[in-house]
Structure 1
Amino acid sequence: MTEEDTTIGAAASLIGCTLRDYGISVTDVFRDAGLDPEAAIAADVRYPFEKMQRMWRLAVERSGDPCFGLAVAGHIQPQALHGLGFMWLSSDTLLDALERLVKYQRMISTVADIRLEEQKESVQLHVDFRRSTADIEYASLDAAVGVFVNMCRIATCETFNPVRLSLERPRPDCAERFEDLFRSPVEFGAAANIIDFDPVQLREPLPGANPELARANDQVVIDYLGRFDRENISMQVRSRLIELLPGGQPSQKDIAGSLNLSVRNLQRRLQAEGISFKRLLDDTRKDLAAQYIRDSHRRIGEITYLLGFSEPSNFTRAFRRWTGVSPNEFRQRS
């Protein structure tokens, strides 16, 4: 993936709050992770994904707690998620809140790949990442699912429990703390990270439902993401690539022109973010390919077209280079 990936700064603040419970110097952990501790209080601050993962790793090591992520989830307050947190509480139902989470997930992290799927007897929230599993610290995943469950409890006045939880991470020595927190069966070493919800409970009215407040916070989040996208040239290029790829592979000149930039200026700004146009094009195609192939209704020919490849064989070769398997093999495993 790319250097432009970022995580909301409040995640670092929550780690800091939790470190204090263990008597650990928050400033030292921030600095050893390469992060500015003073910047964490700014509402719009975002930290690079790699440095945040380093912070998670340091926090687990120095606390000596393999379940540190669960402790972080216990510190969650709605304001930590910016407008998304207040939007969650003021949504009509938990289903509405989760749909907003999926819609605005980039606010939390640009590596997030969160989606809802309706099954016969449950609604599933899949919590994935556009990264190799090796790049993800288990504590950050534990915290993410813990935060989502705790936000549901805050919204329902503590009446919520998930039906079950599935996690890709191996079973830790502190596994009983997972069942204590989630109050439901937890499967470790699973094929995917999934929170199963009771569909009836998801559709029950929330006590704090307030459509006007929810819409107001929708706009707060939209404005936040708009500021973020304007400042981040990589995200602008990615957006243009997604828009133009169905018409064939766009050139760097095409993208620069669509952004009212010269090719040289585009190259300079991308370089400042630690990424090249070629790498960004390849990463964007890779990310989209994985999303499209998980959709069983899309045919390989359609995906080839959407990604700007001239022939299915060209797409298949590229996909095998990205993942080590063919598109059909990947679909069967997903």
Structure 2
Amino acid sequence: MSNTLSVSSFNLILYSAQQRGAEYNVLCEKVGLTADMLQDPDARLPIRKVQELWKEAVEMTGDEHLALHIGESINTVAVGILAYVMMHCPTLGKALEKLCQYQDIVCDGSKTEFYIKDDLAYVTLTQLSEDMLYPQYAFESELSIYNEAVKGMLGRALPLHAVHFNYPAYSPHLSEYQRIFKTEQVLFESDITGIVFDKKYLDYPILNANPNLFPLFDKHAQSILSSLKQDNSIKEKVKKEILDGLKGEEPSLFNISRNLGIGLRSLQMKLKEEGVTFQQLLDDIRKNLAVQHLQETHLSTTDIAYLLGYSEPSVFFRSFKKWTGYTPNVYRKNPKMVA
């Protein structure tokens, strides 16, 4: 199962890189994406693609602390429904509970946990995705965003006891970490990655929280999370890519493998393990769409052939007869003949 990040969060990284001099189109091109692929904020991208973006963005901006700077580069409300849920919680403690509950809406490649120990509150991050080749970028950007989000919710910076990272420092200078998190205690090669603060702040109220809006946003977040967890199989991911690609041209497995951040042969093997081939998925989708479109009288068979990605109507005719035993025109006159 491939871990993913929301496109809206991917765009936040792009925006932060732009703020530091990176060219948007060049950066997209380097990671094999186009602006059109990033228009749907509810779409998802594989973690490996996000890791490629971080690497290229850091190199292009020359900012080794780009991930650390993302929190102060963006409006944390732009994180989406998760931010709205947290903003309308009654207290910081409740907001952090909701952060842990709904984090997968943003990214399911890491796990956020919140607990209390010895009068201290801990918000920690754990890597889940094997595709997270540069965990420092993911962890530092997440903690940076959390830190700024809490500041916005409380109307003041959260006094931290310490910030922990479970990997070695990749810079000899800790001053930027100390500036961002406003604490002298920045600890690398620790047992955890996360922030630590006095538990009394958990009872602090969220400024401008609206108790009437909270259940609405909470219900919406539950719905999104449920839909994400329904079916995350490779087969379903490929089917979605096929549907997105049927716009006047035939989707190719090569392009789909690139979009998913999975090698071509590896993708073929994963589909085989799920008992299906790319051609079977493509044919099934085209057949189902063809049957639907042929019931829409305003569409000509030439129009339908184009919508299904065929270069020539004659190829569509042959394919439809192969699937159903009838030509499209015969079926259109008697649609009940095809199950």
Normalised TM-score (structure 2): 0.66
Matched residue of 2:213: which SS? helix
Letter of the 1:221 partner, please give it. Answer: A
- Cα distance per residue 1:164-221 (max 9 Å; x no partner): 1101232224421111010012112212202112211111122222222121111121
- Going from structure 1 to structure 2, the CA distance change for 1:271 and 1:98 (only over 3 Å counts) comes to farther
CA distance in 2, matches of 1:63, 1:137: 19
Higher CA-based Rg: 2
Instruction: Supply the RMSD in Å over aligned alpha carbons.
Output: 2.8
Matches within 5 A, 1:209-228: 209-228=209-228
CA distance in 2, matches of 1:109, 1:34: 20
CA distance in 1, matches of 2:280, 2:47: 16
Matches within 5 A, 1:123-272: 123-131=121-129, 135-171=133-169, 172-184=171-183, 185-230=185-230, 232-233=232-233, 267-268=275-276
Number of the residue aligned with 1:13: 11
Segments of 5+ residues of structure 2 without an aligned counterpart are 237-270, 282-339
Matches within 5 A, 1:283-298: none
Number of the residue aligned with 1:98: 96
- Going from structure 1 to structure 2, the CA distance change for 1:268 and 1:24 (only over 3 Å counts) comes to same
Moved over 3 A (4+): 131-134, 233-236, 263-266, 269-273
User: Displacement, 1:232?
Assistant: 2.8
CA distance in 2, matches of 1:87, 1:66: 32
- Going from structure 1 to structure 2, the CA distance change for 1:24 and 1:13 (only over 3 Å counts) comes to same
Number of the residue aligned with 1:71: 69
Q: Is the 8 A contact 1:149 1:162 kept in 2?
A: no
Matches within 5 A, 1:312-323: none
Q: Is the 8 A contact 2:122 2:197 kept in 1?
A: yes
Letter of the 2:111 partner, please give it. Answer: D
Q: Is the 8 A contact 1:53 1:136 kept in 2?
A: yes
- Going from structure 1 to structure 2, the CA distance change for 1:216 and 1:62 (only over 3 Å counts) comes to same
Q: Is the 8 A contact 2:121 2:198 kept in 1?
A: yes
Number of the residue aligned with 1:52: 50
Normalised TM-score (structure 1): 0.66
CA distance in 1, matches of 2:94, 2:148: 16
Q: Is the 8 A contact 1:122 1:199 kept in 2?
A: yes
Q: Is the 8 A contact 1:56 1:137 kept in 2?
A: no
CA distance in 1, matches of 2:280, 2:68: 36
CA distance in 2, matches of 1:272, 1:136: 36
- Name the % identity: 19
Matched residue of 1:163: which SS? strand
Number of the residue aligned with 1:84: 82
User: Displacement, 1:61?
Assistant: 1.3
- Cα distance per residue 1:131-151 (max 9 Å; x no partner): 359723422221111001110
| Count of residue pairs the alignment pairs up | 245
Q: Is the 8 A contact 1:66 1:139 kept in 2?
A: no
Q: Is the 8 A contact 1:233 1:269 kept in 2?
A: no
